[in-house]
A and B are shown apart, each in its own frame.
Chain A
């Protein structure tokens, strides 16, 4: 099955950029997603990228997709304390279009 890997932790200073990385094994996904989860809350869709795109920008968020290396990244510009959360990359797989998630990256924004 699909394997999705993320580093567990990332700390940045407020105002800096954050880059969260994700690698995967199955290249057949049509859509690749980034979700945000705050403590005790459900998953909030942040952005997604279609598999035939290399880059997508959405306000402070930039998604880069390198299909050759099977690498997806999320850059958050001007990171704020409110961005502290767990970030999950997810790939749409299978006939059910279910999502396969990475284990999440805990982003901590330091003042």
Chain B
């Protein structure tokens, strides 16, 4: 399967613990995005990478959140000192941006976080 893969698919943690999610984008896609989706809502943009550079972060990304894409391939999203309000589905998407393509986003199946 050459789609976007995310790991783990489900994570249950206690408040105050740290969690890390991993995303493997479609190979050769130069952009990688993180979104958060809460129940009954559409996905909300968190941050994105162009290759290994993190170019934009939304206001939703508090200081407890950090994302990396060290070699321009896979990415990790870490949440420190989790709070119950962090419970959500974390979606990763990748795209190929360049001449002659629409830059459409391909999404993974998401990592569901439950904070008790």
Contact = CB atoms under 8 A, between A and B. Distances in A.
A42 interface: yes
A24 interface: no
Interface in B45-66: 45, 48, 55-56
B25 interface: no
Contact of B104 (A33, A41, A95): A33
Interface of A is mostly: strand
A43 B91 contact: yes
Interface string B87-102: 0000101010100001
B42 A31 contact: no
B88 to A, nearest CB: 14
A38 to B, nearest CB: 10
A43 B40 contact: no
Contact of B103 (A35, A92, A100): A92
Interface residues of A, number: 25
Contacts of A45: 104-106
B109 interface: yes
A33 B107 CA distance: 13
B48 A96 contact: yes
B60 to A, nearest CB: 12
Contacts of B106: 45
A104 B42 contact: yes
B28 interface: no
Contact of A43 (B43, B44, B45, B56): B43
Interface of B: 4, 31, 33, 40-45, 48, 55-56, 91, 93, 95, 97, 102-110
8 contacts: A31-B103, A31-B104, A42-B107, A44-B107, A94-B56, A96-B55, A97-B31, A99-B105
- For the complex of A and B, the 8 pairs showing the least CB-CB separation, nearest first, are A101-B42, A42-B109, A43-B107, A42-B107, A98-B45, A96-B56, A96-B48, A103-B42
